[in-house]
Chains A and B, each alone.
Chain A
């Protein structure tokens, strides 16, 4: 059986690969969507924070002998904490101003962080091994699926859906959403809104760092890994609709698959296809596929 001239088996393999890459897009764009939706900050530092997550994992292993599983917990907390410091000392001063100021500040921070890491670690990347429990691969008949990649899909789905659930379906999420709409009123009910916002930013950054740790064994741990990723992820967020949590998740996985298929049918365009889709979506539905016009 063939689909568009490609054997069906090969096609399934490519779809699965697309989903795996989509998991990273989803995790990263989810963090961005949470931060934009609740803080109204366009967090351009996100790529650098993703990279920091991978570096924390690398340094924990090299310097302290702490392995992958602990890194999954430690790196997001550490990087999230640096995020909270940035939010308290810098971002908090910009909430009253136009989006553009937040964007410029976070973009500048991203350049500084990346520059510092590049000076220290160079550009060729550092090795990080796949944890022993996830070595090896399953033969699915139509493809060879590395265990680690299977884990990435599952972990990413679980994290994405629980985040969505917390924000859209729980009381805590309701407070958060209310605080975005009308901070004064929520504060009047006795809820510490600034602290909640700081924690939310920390959480969004933590998600980026988590994606970084998960990416470390697949890609090289590289100071530039975030810069390569962030532009694509922004396109994902724009297509999904700025601030829409479900939009970020669905578009993340969806675009991963579309990009994967492009790599089969017309590989030369694989790094532009997402932007073509972005342009089309912006023309037809400027608020994004899942966004609502405010």
Chain B
């Protein structure tokens, strides 16, 4: 009872002190909804970690001290666009959520993108990959934060084709994300004079890839491009080793690989894999400090680029709410585009008119077991792609907002 009274008094004190800052914030609370995969193949690379990253951002921003009351809720979209859509509607209409963040799974993200636009709220995408979010499906209410299929294709595809990997076979997850990643990578391969000799589309969350791998093997392509993610990628890589694909002279290109996938495969299987990411925890002192705090609260799992993106996006969002003195979705997103971004994980950057957040990308290679000196010491950064080259030029995206 005593404690309850004390809490009430403290919040009352905050409320009084915060009167001015909260004037334009709807119902006095900035409510952040983390819509993510809490139970299936993308849980470790987003999931609870994304919720944690959002909390850390609110804490580091010092929302309480600044008098902005922030609440975080989270939910599991089960990788089903219909489930994700109804959660988003309920959050916006009933629970007064102001902004939805994360949302791995491009199918779900595209659905929530449209709903957010209809309701005039805000959507900060870190988990989903499809570049359509800043292309034909771009919206004045959405910012695509961390990475996208074009950037992955450009980073990894370019590097591989230029080192001789000029014939490709795609193993593609059969939904919006896989199709987008395959399309963007194919474009890079063709542009650089390579060719695509075949492709096969597998259902999301497949256990056995041997049949597909055999088709890839028979195609004699030099590179087998994995346009899938999470458990699908780890299973493909593991089983490819079993069928002697790499020993037979073909190489795998993991087009979207997260550090949690590398951890799950073990360095013995994952070594030598080349891929692109926009955040690596062991890049500098600030990222290391973040990773240490994050891992301690997340069963030792180190942050993926999606987690880092959620942190950075929420931080910038709160700064924009403070600067614009409103949490109206359309206005905050506009404000976020006006202000340059700056945070400990991605450094200085900006948000483009089409909703694309811009920062450098890293081409990394997975270390050999002998090179890894500590737990989660997995990646070596081979090249840094500068921010202005890492993402699709705005004119090529076909975003109607840009005209």
CB distance from A150 to the nearest CB of B (A): 12
Q: Which residue of chain B has its CB nearest to the CB of A263? A: B211
Which residues of A (1-48) have their CB < 8 Å from a CB of B?
7, 10, 13-14, 17-18, 20-21
Residues of A near B248 (CB, < 8 A) are 144
Question: Could you tell me the distance in whole angstroms from the C-beta of B213 to the nearest C-beta in chain A?
Answer: 9
A123 touches B39 (CB 8 A): yes
Cβ of B40: which chain A residues have Cβ within 8 Å of it? 123, 224
Interface size class of A (residues with CB under 8 A): 35 or more
Asked if A21 contacts B202 (CB within 8 A), the reply is no
CA distance in complex: A95, B341 (Å): 64
CB pair B239–A267 under 8 Å, yes or no, is no
Q: Is B212 an interface residue (CB 8 A)?
A: yes
Which of A130, A218, A220 is in CB contact (< 8 Å) with B234?
Answer: A220
Interface residues of A in 159-179 (CB under 8 A from B): none
CA distance A148 to B244 in the complex (A): 12
B202, B231, B269, B301: the one contacting A222 at CB < 8 Å is: B231
B208 with A21: CB separation less than 8 A? yes
Taken together as a complex, chains A and B put the C-alpha atoms of A26 and B202 apart, in Å, by 23
Q: Which of A37-89 contact B (CB under 8 A)?
A: none
Any A CB within 8 A of the CB of B86: no
Q: Is there an interface contact between A263 and B218, defined as CB atoms closer than 8 Å?
A: no
Q: A123-B40, A124-B231, A127-B265 are in contact. Are A271 and B203 (CB under 8 A)?
A: yes
Q: Are A10 and B207 in contact (CB under 8 A)?
A: no
Tell me which of A10, A224, A264 contacts B41 (CB under 8 A): A224
Docked-complex contact B202 and A125, CB < 8 angstroms: no
Q: Is B47 an interface residue (CB 8 A)?
A: yes
Bound state CA distance, A127 and B266, in angstroms?
6
B44 touches A (CB below 8 Å): yes
Q: Is B154 an interface residue (CB 8 A)?
A: no
Chain A residues lying within 8 Å of B265, measured Cβ to Cβ, are: 127, 220
Known: A122-B43, A124-B234. A14 touches B242 (CB 8 A): no
0/1 interface trace, chain B 207-247, chain A, CB 8 Å (1 if under): 11011101101100000000000110011001100111000
The interface residues of chain B lying within 8 Å CB-to-CB of A157 are none
* Cα of A21 to Cα of B206 in the assembled complex, Å: 12
Contact at B44–A122, with CB atoms within 8 Å? yes
Give the distance in Å from the alpha carbon of A225 to the alpha carbon of B206 in the complex: 10
In the bound assembly, the distance between CA atoms of A146 and B238 in angstroms comes to 13
Shortest Cβ distance from A261 into B: residue: B211
Given contacts A124-B231, A125-B231, A219-B208, are A267 and B202 in contact (CB under 8 A)?
yes
Assess whether A219 is in contact with B264, with CB atoms less than 8 Å apart.
no
- Nearest Cβ on chain A to B175's Cβ, whole angstroms: 10
Q: Find chain A residues with CB under 8 A from B208 CB.
A: 17, 21, 218-219
Expressed in whole angstroms, the Cα–Cα distance for A20 and B299 within the complex equals 35
B292 interface residue (CB < 8 Å to A): no
Enumerate chain A residues within 8 angstroms of B392, measured Cβ to Cβ: none
- Choose one: B43, B201, B214; the contact of A17 (CB below 8 Å): B214
Q: A137-B243, A149-B242 are in contact. Are A123 and B211 (CB under 8 A)?
A: no
Q: For the complex formed, measure the closest distance between the CB of B377 and the CB atoms of chain A, giving whole angstroms.
A: 17
Q: How far is the CB of A9 from chain B (nearest CB, A)?
A: 8
> For the complex, what is the distance from the CA of A263 to the CA of B200, rounded to whole Å?
9
A118 to B39, CA, bound (A): 8
Contact, CB under 8 Å: B207 / A123: no
Distance, CA A144 to CA B244, complexed state (A): 8
> By the criterion CB–CB under 8 Å, are A125 and B264 in contact?
yes
Report the bound CA distance from A219 to B210 in whole Å. Answer: 11
Q: In the complex, what distance in Å separates the CA atom of A190 from the CA atom of B95?
A: 65
Give the distance in Å from the alpha carbon of A13 to the alpha carbon of B213 in the complex: 11
Residues of B within 8 A of A13 (CB): 214, 218
Query: Residues of B contacting A180 with CB < 8 Å?
Result: none
| Cβ A123 vs Cβ B244 within 8 A | no
Question: B210 to A20, Cβ gap below 8 A?
Answer: yes
In the docked arrangement, what's the CA distance between A283 and B287, Å?
A: 60
Does A229 contact B41, Cβ atoms closer than 8 Å?
no
User: Among B206, B230, B243, B301, which residue has the most Cβ atoms of chain A within 10 A?
Assistant: B243
Can you name 8 A-B residue pairings with CB atoms under 8 Å? A18-B211, A122-B299, A125-B231, A127-B264, A224-B41, A228-B207, A260-B211, A264-B211
**List of 6 A-B pairs having minimum Cβ-Cβ separation, nearest first:** A123-B43, A263-B211, A127-B266, A124-B264, A124-B44, A271-B203
- For the complex with contacts A122-B44, A123-B39, A127-B269, 10 further pairs of A-B residues with Cβ separation under 8 Å are A122-B43, A127-B264, A144-B217, A146-B244, A149-B210, A219-B238, A224-B39, A260-B211, A263-B212, A268-B203
